[in-house]
Amino acid sequence: MSSPMEIEAQLPNGNSTAATAINPPSKLGKLAESLKLEHQFLRVPFEHYKKMIRANHRAVEKEVSAIISGVSDFEDSNRSRDETVNQLNSLVSRLQGFKRKLEEESRTEQLQAQRCRARLDHLESAEVDNLPEWNSIRLKRILVDYMLRMSYYGTASKLAESSNIKQDLVDEDVFFEARKVIDALKKKEVAPALAWCADNKSRLKKSKSKFEFQLRLQEFIELVRAENNMQAISYARKYLAPWGATHMKELQRVMATLAFRSNTECVTYKVLFEAKQWDYLVDQFKQEFCKLYGMTLEPLLNIYLQAGLSALKTPFCYEDDCTKEDPLSQESFRKLALPLPYSKQHHSKLVCYITKELMDTENPPLVLPNGYVYSTKALEEMAKQNDGKITCPRTGFVCDYTDVVKAFIS
Amino acid sequence: MELNSIKDAFDRVTKKQKLSCSKSQEVIEQIGQEIEQALSRIQSGQDSASPSDHKLILNELKAKLKEIAPLSQLESTQKELNVALSKYPKLLEKSFNPDISKAYRNIDFDIHAVNQIIANHFYREGRFDLGDCFVDETKEPEAALMKSPFVEMFHILEAMKSRNLEPALNWAANNHEQLTQNGSDIELKLHRLQFVEILQNRGRDEALKYARAFLAPFATKHMAEIQKLMACLLWAGRLDSSPYAELLSSIHWDKLAEELTREFCNLIGQSYESPLSVTIAAGVQGLPTLLKLMNVMTGKKHEWQSMKQLPVPVDLDREFQFHSIFVCPVSRDQASEENPPMLLSCGHVLCKQSITKLSKNNSTRPFKCPYCPSEVEAGQCRQLYF
């Protein structure tokens, strides 16, 4: 595995003419690699689209069955002619109403399809030439994703709107569905969450989710807290028992709260009554929700931040004279990077202290008699302006340009 | 990016969706027609209105509906649609990285730090409305700490856009000492621009007055520059046809606005580029490598969570290179304070530990440089500071 990476890593440090020759395709290659990270960007609107299609289809099936059984029903019963005419008339108007609804649904389906296509077009539009603008939109998309997941809906919407990405490029509508459930859970109401579980029953079952069980457990706990013991027991019979086969341990633990009550000091059961269980449910819901839509479980922002910080982190970042241009000179970035690994280099990469430019074969490093190293460009310029005199900016040491020697970095 | 195959797959989905949609409509239409027909038949047979008649018609209607078999009609198009619907996400998974969180470390990512970074990002971009909204919504008033300096900066820049240098000059005067300490000559550049403005708009006398008051203090250091400006006085009123016409170019304004931003950020301890943009851009470049790494590290997930250094280099563009990293070509170790880079007398550079090894820890015993035929002595090697 290390061999292809080695080759990639060597490119910028290799022979400079070769490097410039390889540069454009490698830039393109990098772009293609970065676009491959955009799975969620295409997947989420598609899942939404799929969901719409499935729901509409179910509605059609239901309606058609209802009509057919409606016809058979009053064929069986003995009705007068007028009654039959009325019944048939009501069926006809019901069908017409449904047809209108169907047309409307089909329009929203098409809109969603357009959105999926807009995202494909957006990915396709990324080219080496327009990369700065494209990247800036990507950052905005990432920020909106973060805000939606963290329930900062106001700023998310404002940012999306002001950057013209609200319509097609962010998932505000999808999160709107989640918002209802989350807001309710925060108010300790489970009904919307349960309704969501019912809506997505088959998929949750497929992924072996136990979210519904957890909701039911919490409802049971609330009944115990209110000392509605009889009600709690009948609730458990109805809603918890079906989970017994797969989650007996948890079920038993929760049932034991009937004996311990909400004021128990026994740690095992005390935690079940704590308010943070509701926060836990919110987190759990977010996870299930993300899984269902094919989103990453972590906000995109956190993922990219971690990767970026690891790639940028060096021991020098934490020194006092770390350049301000390095994000890791900022306290908040340092804090985030603390538990992350340092980057690794296989080849020297030297940056001139004065010009901040890379020192390579084109701009080789020169050594002053005091051991300090600067780029040829910087020292040439300094010598030109000061009659061949060089002053070391870090130590104040003065020497002639003729005193410096070239260093060979391999 | 080559997205044609994905686009085709998506087109297939929408095609099937349209088909299924029109099929649904057709079926509903059919049912409606049958019912309406039955209805009109019942209604037209008004005079011979025996109950058995309309029953007969209803019976026929039921048989007809059964014959149409609407549900099974729907089924076949739906089946095709379902195939397309399940194929597309599979193609996406194949063509893209389906899980980019694979290399994510499950650590507590300090939300406050993240929010502070975001708020700062908005303020430094001049999006004060977004920044305020965000600080409000996250209930993190301390994240607005950097707001006021950036408000000042954008105030200066806005004024410059309407060719008003007053705020910029005030700022430069207030920070005169620090600016000179940093070796910046932005103050002179601002005065130069103001001088040209005055010369153009208010005439020679005013310009001369301005030069005496504000340019003179720079004479010791920037004589040549000031002489040039003084020569401009000769062309007062027709500077555009003088050898100094380029001083009028609006490029100077744009350039100076950029330089001011740079110096301003520097003075308040901030970078010129948004650190958030820089880190995310580095993350986008680095993540593919990390994901590849995770593919070969399966089964060693635990190790990854505690690793102190990445096991492979992550190749970033040179704009992300903020520090000099010296890697000893012999030992492949990164130089550190304990193991600094040393210059051999032939000009090649190795780390101290490698030199110790090569010289068998004898500072006067000559050894051959691994990169050229020279014989060198460890005692004559000099430590380098990059």
Q: Do A308 and B279 touch (CB under 8 A)?
A: yes
Cα–Cα distance for residue pair B316/B334, rounded to 1 Å: 17
- Determine the distance in angstroms separating the CA of A354 from the nearest CA of chain B, rounded to an integer: 10
Could you give the CA distance from residue A158 to residue A166 in angstroms, rounded to a whole number?
Answer: 9
Q: Which of A306, A309, A366, A379 to mutate to test the interface with B (most CBs of B within 10 A)?
A: A306
Contact A139 B280 (CB under 8 A): yes
Task: List chain A residues with CB under 8 Å of B31.
Answer: 64, 67-68, 95
**Looking at residue B14, what is its pLDDT?**
95
Instruction: Return the sign of the alpha-carbon dihedral for residues B146, B147, B148, B150.
Output: positive
**Which of chain A's residues have a Cβ under 8 Å away from the Cβ of B134?**
147, 152, 155
What pLDDT score was predicted for residue B43? 81
List of chain B residues whose C-beta atoms are within 8 Å of the C-beta of residue A96: 32
Could you tell me which chain B residue has the CA closest to the CA of A131?
B281
* Shortest alpha-carbon distance between residue B120 and chain A (Å): 11
The answer to whether A310 contacts B286, with C-beta atoms less than 8 Å apart, is: yes
Instruction: Judge whether A325 and B272 are in contact, CB under 8 Å.
Output: yes
**pLDDT for the residue numbered B222:** 87
Tell me: domain A350-406, CATH 3.30.40, correct?
Answer: yes
Strands A373-375 and A365-367, sheet pairing: antiparallel
Cβ pairs A/B, distance under 8 A: 390
Name the H helices within A226-275.
Answer: 229-235, 244-255, 257-260, 267-270
- Distance (Å, whole) CA B5 – CA B1: 11
CA B187 to chain centre: 31
Question: A342: which chain B residues are within 8 Å (Cβ-Cβ)?
Answer: 308-310
Cβ separation of A36 and B61 shorter than 8 Å? no
Which chain A residues have a beta carbon less than 8 Å from that of B110? 335-336
By Cβ distance, the residue of A305, A326, A371 closest to B280 is A305
Q: Which residue from A78, A98, A143 is facing B28, i.e. has the nearest CB?
A: A98
pLDDT of residue B107: 85
Structure tokens at A58: 């179910």
User: Cβ of B278 and A38 within 8 Å?
Assistant: no
Q: Do residue B271 and residue A317 have CB atoms under 8 angstroms apart?
A: no
What does DSSP assign to residue A343?
P
Judge: B3–A113 Cβ closer than 8 Å, yes or no: no
Chain A positions in Cβ-Cβ contact with residue B283 (cut-off 8 Å) = 303-309, 311
Instruction: Quote the CA–CA distance of B175 and A230 in Å, as a whole number.
Output: 76
Four-point Cα dihedral A80, A81, A85, A87, nearest 10: 20
Burial of B43 (0-12, 13-18, 19+ CB in 10 A): middle
Q: Determine contact, residues A354/A375, Cβ cutoff 8 Å.
A: yes
pLDDT in tens, chain A (410 residues): 334 443 343 334 434 333 333 344 578 888 999 999 999 999 999 999 999 999 999 999 999 998 888 887 776 666 777 888 888 888 889 999 999 999 999 999 999 999 999 999 999 999 989 999 999 999 999 999 999 999 999 999 999 999 999 989 999 999 998 999 999 999 999 999 999 999 999 889 998 999 999 999 999 999 999 999 999 999 999 999 999 999 999 999 999 999 888 888 898 899 999 999 999 999 999 999 999 999 999 999 999 999 999 999 999 999 888 889 999 999 999 999 999 999 998 889 999 988 888 898 899 999 999 999 999 999 999 999 888 999 998 898 999 999 999 999 87
**Domain ranges (residues) in chain A:** 4-35, 175-292, 300-337, 350-406
8 Å CB contact of B288 and A37: yes
Test A158 with B71 for CB contact under 8 angstroms. Answer: no
State how far residue B77 is from chain A, nearest Cα, in angstroms: 11
Q: What is the pLDDT of residue B120?
A: 96
Residue of A20, A41, A53, A300 for testing the chain B interface, max B β-carbons within 10 Å: A53
SS3 A298: coil
Q: Which residues contact B41 (CB under 8 A, 6 or more apart)?
A: B57
SS3 B366: coil
Sign of the CA dihedral running B346, B350, B352, B353: negative
**Residue of chain A with shortest Cα separation from B311:** A344
Q: For B382, which of A53, A95, A371 is closest by C-beta distance?
A: A371
- Stated pTM of the model: 0.89
CB atoms within 10 A of CB A52: 18
Q: Which of A58, A68, A368 to mutate to test the interface with B (most CBs of B within 10 A)?
A: A68
The pLDDT of residue A75 = 62
Question: Residue B382 class from Cβ within 10 Å (0-12 exposed, 13-18 middle, 19+ buried)?
Answer: middle
User: Which residues of chain A does B290 touch, with a Cβ-Cβ cutoff of 8 Å?
Assistant: 307, 310
Show residues of chain A in contact with B23, CB under 8 Å.
none
With b for 16 or more beta-carbon neighbours within 10 A and e for fewer, the A78-113 pattern comes to: ebebeebbebbeebbebbeebbeebeebbeebeebb
Closest partner residue to B323 (CB to CB) among A117, A314, A340 is: A314
Q: Which residues of B52-84 are buried (b: 16+ CB within 10 A; e: fewer)?
A: eebbebbeebbebbeebebeebbeebbeebbeb
**A351 vs B133, B286, B321: nearest CB:** B321
Residues of chain B falling short of pLDDT 50? none
pLDDT of residue B299: 75
Closest chain B residue by Cα to residue A136: B277
8 Å CB contact of A12 and B96 = no
Which residues in chain A have their CB less than 8 angstroms from residue B308's CB?
A: 341-342
Task: Give the angle A47-A49-A50 at the CA atoms, nearest 5°.
Answer: 65
Compute the distance between CA of residue A46 and CA of residue A135 in angstroms, rounded to an integer.
23
Contact between B103 and A307 using a beta-carbon 8 Å cutoff: yes
**Cα separation, A89 vs B38, whole angstroms:** 10
Distance between A358 CA and the closest CA of chain B, angstroms: 7
Q: Which residues of B touch A296 (CB under 8 A)?
A: 99-101
pLDDT at B46: 60
Q: What token pair was written down for B306? A: 């505690």
Of the candidates B211, B178, B173, the one whose C-alpha atom is nearest the C-alpha of residue B192 is B211
Is A332's CB within 8 Å of B17's CB? no
How high is the pLDDT of residue A367?
A: 94
Q: How far is B381 from chain A (nearest CA, A)?
A: 10
